[in-house]
């Protein structure tokens, strides 16, 4: 029976991201996908600046920019289409270095990720492979699957299994985990339209706050538009199967555009849910993406949460497989990611209920309160600058119990001599310091596989009272200290990924 270090179940954005990041560290992966190719229907349409940073790490940032549109922000609108509040975002980008709201078509993104996977000989992608069982066997995991094209049963032994197989995850069932309901379920109509018409609308996300007919509108491409409408009791997608029946819903945006100029790409009913797996990890098996959590779409964080999972886990797993990190670091995946995902789900639920609850009294409250939402902690930060909550304390997030400081936060992706911090770090541990290390200290850092980043201007101000920060390969601050020697002492010997080697060749001083 064939044996591989890692089997990834599911070739959506989360699974492809995990496989690509592992391949950067030289880890061989087998990706098993139930479908033969890319699922053709559009689903996710938004990712923030933090996720755009991850795409840059994967080497597909420029390709993504070619198929995406930076959004100008978020508008909250009342039932009469009057603007209640507007949260602007700078399309030039913020602390993450890229636009903080990016609109796109998911099949196009998946095509880019699949094409990128082909650059890595260490990744094998098997389509039409339906996983039917995941079973621990001593220090390995047996994965049984069926070739759906031939009916042939096959098996493979894996060192680790990553379940990226969606809301109906076979891997989740195999480890005995269950999705815990977080008390949110709403039926919505999702409409995707292709048209050469330009509606002349503000190029951001429009949220209609209405208990009778809440709605969302956004332009996601040159000719592509997305609407979402909350369905009333008794309504189904079948009631809106053509552009004529849809016209009453989309009329506020399309004006006099003839119905024949609107090509319906998809009209489907979805139940937006909030759910969280009770556990994400059992032995050598991990859950990522929708297998671990389901987020209502009101803040556009569903797909992004899965890419955060993959980015958090991949370098840790690579470190364990290359014996540069102890196996105990894998426990930090759930410790760090589960509370973060839960916090984002809570924020999405709050946003959804704020849009849809309360009847006429709710409308009155929205008219009074919406213009003041910019003062709400969490919501304002997420909408305005894309900063999500810091990770919880763990073996790899060393924060004081009373004063967190920078630990658990992402390092700003600022420019230093024309290169972004992420490009300089290139998947390595980085020590960011406002003072020059001695030659001996620099040699020690390099011998351990790390890199020194000398902070200037904005990055120096970001360090605040700390003289330096030890930053993990995923861009998260592990700890800060005024003593450079302390940071070096905590720096593990970690194998540099291929991207760091390429960066070193192109920039010998990196």
- For residue range 466-486, list pLDDT tens digits in order: 689 999 999 999 999 999 999
Q: Rounded to whole angstroms, what are the CA distances from 210 to 77, 105, 213, 354, 365?
A: 9, 27, 5, 9, 11
Nearest to 373 by CA among 86, 167, 7: 86
- Report the pLDDT value the prediction gives residue 354, as an integer from 0 to 100: 77
Which residues does 285 contact at the CB level (< 8 Å), separation at least 6?
Answer: 134, 136, 141, 160, 161, 163, 171, 174, 175
The residues near 443 (Cβ < 8 Å, ≥ 6 apart) are none
pTM: 0.94
User: Which tokens is 499 given?
Assistant: 């991207």
C-alpha torsion angle, residues 461, 347, 350, 342 (rounded to 10)? -150
- Which DSSP category does 374 fall into? G
Read off the tokens for 451: 């890199």
Give the whole-angstrom CA distance, residue 84 versus residue 76.
5
Q: In the predicted model, is pLDDT for residue 284 greater than 50?
A: yes
Sheet holding 46-47, edge to edge: 46-47, 102-103, 69-70
State the Cα–Cα distance between residues 460 and 93, nearest whole angstrom.
19
Q: Cβ distance 472 to 449 under 8 Å?
A: no
pLDDT confidence of residue 505: 46
Would you say residue 264 has pLDDT above 90? yes
Residue 351 has pLDDT above 90, yes or no: no
Q: What is the pLDDT of residue 41?
A: 82
Q: What is the pLDDT of residue 372?
A: 61
**Nearest-angstrom CA–CA distance, 466 and 479:** 10
CB 302 within 8 A of CB 201: no
Least confident residue range of 248-252, 301-305, 353-357: 353-357
Instruction: Considering only residues 365 and 207, tell me which one the structure prediction assigns the higher pLDDT.
Output: 207
Per-residue pLDDT tens for 188-244?
Answer: 999 999 999 999 999 999 999 888 899 999 999 999 999 999 999 999 999 999 888
pLDDT 10s digits, 106-124: 999 999 999 999 999 999 9
CA 302 to chain centre: 7
pLDDT for residue 495: 86
Residue 154 has pLDDT above 90, yes or no: yes
Residue 504 reports pLDDT greater than 90: no
pLDDT exceeds 60 at position 415? yes
User: According to the model, what pLDDT value does residue 467 have?
Assistant: 81
Least confident interval from 157-161, 297-301, 303-307: 297-301
Q: What is the pLDDT of residue 283?
A: 96
| Whole-angstrom distance, CA of residue 104 vs CA of residue 48 | 11
Percentage of the residues of the chain whose pLDDT score is greater than 70: 92
pLDDT score recorded for residue 379 = 59
Taking alpha carbons only, the member of 66, 64, 95, 55 closest to residue 415 is: 95
Q: Tokens 């109906």 label which residue? A: 168
R_g over Cα of the chain: 23
pLDDT digits (tens, 9 = 90+) for 32-75: 999 999 988 888 999 999 999 999 999 999 999 999 999 998 88
Alpha-carbon distance of 19 to 237, in angstroms, equals 36
Closest CA to 383 of 207, 190, 227: 207
Q: What is the pLDDT of residue 304?
A: 96
């Amino acid at each position: 029976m064939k044996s591989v270090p890692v089997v990834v179940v599911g070739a959506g954005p989360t699974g492809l991201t995990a496989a690509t990041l592992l391949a950067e560290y030289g880890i061989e992966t087998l990706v098993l996908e139930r479908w033969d190719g890319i699922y053709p229907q559009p689903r996710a349409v938004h990712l923030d600046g933090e996720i755009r940073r991850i795409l840059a790490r994967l080497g597909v940032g420029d390709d993504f920019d070619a198929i995406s549109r930076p959004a100008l922000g978020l508008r909250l609108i009342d039932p009469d289409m009057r603007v209640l509040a507007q949260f602007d975002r700078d399309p030039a980008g913020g602390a993450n270095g890229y636009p903080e709201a990016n609109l796109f078509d998911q099949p196009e993104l998946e095509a880019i990720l699949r094409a990128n996977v082909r650059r890595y000989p260490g990744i094998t992608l098997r389509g039409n492979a339906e996983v039917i069982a995941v079973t621990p066997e001593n220090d390995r995991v047996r994965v049984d699957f069926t070739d759906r094209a031939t009916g042939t049963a096959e098996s493979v032994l894996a060192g680790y299994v990553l379940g990226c197989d969606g809301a109906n995850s076979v891997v989740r069932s195999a480890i005995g985990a269950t999705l815990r309901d977080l008390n949110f379920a709403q039926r919505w109509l999702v409409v995707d339209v292709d048209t050469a018409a330009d509606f002349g609308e503000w190029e951001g996300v429009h949220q209609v706050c209405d208990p009778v007919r809440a709605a969302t509108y956004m332009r996601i491409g040159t000719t592509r538009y997305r609407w979402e409408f909350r369905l009333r009791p008794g309504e189904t997608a079948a009631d809106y199967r053509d552009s004529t029946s849809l016209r009453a819903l989309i009329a506020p945006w399309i004006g006099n555009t003839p119905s024949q100029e609107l090509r319906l790409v998809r009209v489907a009913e979805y139940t937006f849910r909030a759910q969280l797996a009770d556990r994400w990890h059992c032995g050598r098996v991990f859950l990522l993406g929708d297998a671990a959590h389901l987020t209502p779409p009101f803040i556009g964080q569903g797909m992004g949460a899965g890419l955060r999972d993959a980015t958090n886990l991949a370098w840790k797993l690579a470190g364990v497989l290359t014996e540069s990190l102890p196996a105990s670091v894998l426990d930090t995946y759930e410790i760090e990611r589960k509370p973060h995902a839960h916090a984002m789900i809570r924020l999405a639920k709050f946003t959804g209920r704020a849009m849809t609850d309360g009847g006429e009294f709710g409308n009155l409250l929205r008219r009074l309160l919406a213009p003041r939402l910019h003062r709400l902690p969490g919501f304002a930060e997420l909408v305005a600058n894309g900063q999500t909550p810091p990770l919880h304390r763990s073996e790899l997030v060393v924060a004081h119990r009373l004063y967190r400081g920078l630990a658990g936060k992402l390092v700003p992706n600022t420019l230093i001599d024309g290169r972004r911090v992420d490009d300089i770090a290139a998947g390595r541990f980085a020590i960011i310091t406002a003072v020059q290390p001695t030659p001996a200290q620099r040699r020690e850092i390099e011998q351990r596989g790390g890199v020194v980043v000398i902070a200037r201007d904005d990055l120096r101000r970001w360090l605040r009272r700390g003289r330096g920060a030890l930053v993990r390969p995923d861009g998260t601050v592990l700890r800060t200290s005024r003593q450079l020697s302390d940071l070096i002492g905590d720096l593990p010997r970690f194998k540099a990924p291929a991207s760091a080697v390429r960066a070193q060749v192109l920039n010998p001083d990196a």
